[in-house]
Amino acid sequence: MLQIQVVNCIRELRIERGWSQEQLSALAGVSRQSIISIERNRYVPSLELALRLAQIFDRTVEAIFQLEELP
């Protein structure tokens, strides 16, 4: 059976803007721990949060989150 995971480029986008995890968490309305977990691909955000992050970064959800096949 094919296994997939959701990966993202939140960390890269955040660093590109010079934001701390704390700053991004405040903009997104979530905890810093949530941002850490999302950046480490340990937590897949809700649709609402994914849309909010896309809005914050002015990107599409698909540009931030992708499906990746696991070996």
The whole-angstrom separation of Cα 26 and Cα 41 is 20
Where residue 31 sits, what CATH number does that domain have? 1.10.260.40
**Average pLDDT across the chain, whole number:** 96
In the chain, the percentage of residues whose pLDDT exceeds 70 is 100
pTM: 0.91
The pLDDT assigned to 2 comes to: 84
Res. 71 pLDDT band, cuts 50 70 90: confident
pLDDT > 90? residue 8: yes
Triad 1, 68, 35: Cα angle to 5°: 125
Q: What does the pLDDT average to over 36-53?
A: 97
What is the domain count for the chain? 1
Q: Which domain holds residue 58?
A: 4-69
